[in-house]
């Protein structure tokens, strides 16, 4: 993991831009907007993904694999914190004195002179951002946006609009969410994570308080999440709208029915009640909708029309996303990679599967998170009927001795429901052998576990 130099001045004109790791949702979204603005864009990534293919179609020159010769002669290089400090393109750019800026700095460049709605939180950012964007479009607005996932109805994670509003998913993992000139801050929750970067839960919450204090217009924040409640106490001299099931919430959520494939709920705001039925399942999505609604009414939009706009949201890529069915078994993929997210995703799936069973194929993400939260992961995953645990997706970290996926499987109270399968190639057959007609197999994690979906469908067919 590199430590970006946030003191690096962003050029007034980015010119030709080279992205190291261009295929990620955030990076590809920024690249897409820059191409639309007329910039020449090049880049590299480890795999030839759908994001890469889409950018190529727009005219970007993209190399697979990281190599110094990929760099060419750009005016600016954009990187993410997930890069290794030995990355040859990053090193050559630094050696040649080319401005190397972090992804968040490039996004701040794009959002300058716009009214920024920044969505932050340990969970629910991508969905909440998608809900706000979808609602704004339904309200007749034309916002710019960069989301952390593809919005299903738009088939895009970013766009450059003509309006004054710019909606972004703001990443808290490395503190880069502080770099935006934020007008409206939405904080979905402050559930401790990324302690490898922050060191302590207190430091994590203090950074969210700084993010909230930077919002020029108002802050919308959960009334229920304990971390968010503590952060709210730290916010001074700001307009604050709370949302959730607390009796004193500005936007009070109640009558939640998450028992089926679509969650219904009611909201109370300024003495009026509003009811909604979402196209997506799960109580957590009712909470996300309440947060999006708080942002919209805080901006002055009509409450009933705002909620209707949120209702039209059809989901995002890698959030309980159905990919196919073989011999009566449906295969889903979900981005959940924190115990709270895992529990919410399985609970939502349970409401949809009916009498079928849930087989979760879980890929832990990061050695530090696995070491710190193995017990919590086991507790969350145990809500499944069967669990297959892979080895750890390292991402930006070096391996830690003794830290493997076995830490999670060993923490299960019921050892009969968990199967530790460290070899990728062995997993599809194991998962398929566990499945019966009516079951769901759900791949889960924010690494590359989504790539296993075709293999699982093939194994089921066999």
Distance between start and end Cα atoms, the chain: 40
Which tokens in the block code for residue 92?
């050559």
Euclidean distance between CA atoms 26 and 171, whole angstroms: 10
| CA 56 from centroid of its chain's CA atoms | 24
Contact between 19 and 75 under an 8 Å Cβ cutoff? The reply is no
Query: What is the residue whose two structure tokens read 């760099």?
Result: 71
Distances (CA, A) of 106 to 179, 316, 410: 10, 23, 43
Q: Is 311 noted as a catalytic residue in this protein? A: no
Chain-centre distance for alpha carbon 53: 21
Distance, CA of 221 to CA of 161 (rounded, Å)? 26
State how far the alpha carbon of 410 is from the alpha carbons of 364, 374, 378, 403, 413, in Å.
14, 9, 8, 12, 8
Separation between Cα atoms, residue 416 and residue 385, nearest integer Å = 10
DSSP state of 279: S
d(CA 254, CA 308): 17
Q: Where are the alpha helices (DSSP H) in 226-316?
A: 226-234, 283-298, 303-311
Q: Active-site residue among 80, 125, 232, 330?
A: 125
Q: How far is CA 307 from CA 147, 207, 225, 448, in A?
A: 20, 30, 22, 34
Residue 291: what are its φ and ψ, rounded to 5°?
-65, -45
Report the distance separating Cα 91 and Cα 34, nearest Å: 24
Radius of gyration of the chain, Cα coordinates, nearest whole angstrom: 22
8 Å CB contact between 283 and 374: no
Instruction: Select from 346, 408, 335 the least CA-distant residue to 123.
Output: 335
Residues paired with 8 in a beta bridge: none
In the sheet with 17-20, reading across from the earlier edge strand, the strands are: 61-64, 41-45, 17-20, 76-79, 100-102
Cβ neighbours around 438 below 10 Å, total: 13
Cα distance between residue 407 and residue 175, in whole Å: 28
Q: Is 125 a catalytic residue?
A: yes
**42 is known as an active-site residue:** no
Q: Which of 42, 80, 111, 126 is catalytic?
A: 126
Q: Which residues are catalytic?
A: 125-126, 169
């Amino acid at each position: 993991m590199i430590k970006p130099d946030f003191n690096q001045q962003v050029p007034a004109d980015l010119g030709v831009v080279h992205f190291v790791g261009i295929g990620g949702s955030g990076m590809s979204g920024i690249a897409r907007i820059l191409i639309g603005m007329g910039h020449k864009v090049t880049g590299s990534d480890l795999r030839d993904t759908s994001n890469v293919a889409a950018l190529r179609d727009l005219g970007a020159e993209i190399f697979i694999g990281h190599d110094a010769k990929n760099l060419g002669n750009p005016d600016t290089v954009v990187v993410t914190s997930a890069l290794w400090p030995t990355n040859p393109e990053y090193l050559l750019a630094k050696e040649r004195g080319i401005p190397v800026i972090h992804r968040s700095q490039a996004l701040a460049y794009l959002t300058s002179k716009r009214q920024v709605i920044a969505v932050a939180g340990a969970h629910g950012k991508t969905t909440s951002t998608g809900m706000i964007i979808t609602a704004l479009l339904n309200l007749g607005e034309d916002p710019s946006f960069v989301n952390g996932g593809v919005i299903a109805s738009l088939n895009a994670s970013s766009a450059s609009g003509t309006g004054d509003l710019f909606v972004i998913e703001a990443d808290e993992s490395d503190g880069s969410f502080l770099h935006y000139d934020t007008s409206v801050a939405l904080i979905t929750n402050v559930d401790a994570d990324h302690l490898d970067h922050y060191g302590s839960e207190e430091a994590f919450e203090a950074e969210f308080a700084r993010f909230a204090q930077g919002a020029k217009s108002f802050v919308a924040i959960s009334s229920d999440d304990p971390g968010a409640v503590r952060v709210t106490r730290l916010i001074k001299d700001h307009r604050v709208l709370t949302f959730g099931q607390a009796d004193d919430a500005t936007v009070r959520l109640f009558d939640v029915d998450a028992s089926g494939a679509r969650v219904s709920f009611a909201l109370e705001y300024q003495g009026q009640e509003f009811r909604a039925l979402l196209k997506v399942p799960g109580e957590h999505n009712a909470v996300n909708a309440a947060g999006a609604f708080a942002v919209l009414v805080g901006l002055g939009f009509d409450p009933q029309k705002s909620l209707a706009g949120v209702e039209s949201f059809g989901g995002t890529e890698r959030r309980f996303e159905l990919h196919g069915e073989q011999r009566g078994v449906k295969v889903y993929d979900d981005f959940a990679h924190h115990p709270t997210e895992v529990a919410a995703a399985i609970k939502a799936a349970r409401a949809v599967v009916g009498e079928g069973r849930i087989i979760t194929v879980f890929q832990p993400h990061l050695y530090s998170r696995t070491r710190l939260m193995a017990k919590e992961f086991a507790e969350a995953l145990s809500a499944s009927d069967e669990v297959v645990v892979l080895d750890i997706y390292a991402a930006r970290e070096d391996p830690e001795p003794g830290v493997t996926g076995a830490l999670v499987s060993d923490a299960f109270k019921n050892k009969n429901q968990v199967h530790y399968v460290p070899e990728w190639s062995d997993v599809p057959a194991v998962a398929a052998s566990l499945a019966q007609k009516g079951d769901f197999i759900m791949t889960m994690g924010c690494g590359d576990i989504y790539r296993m979906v075709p293999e699982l469908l093939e194994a089921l067919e066999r």
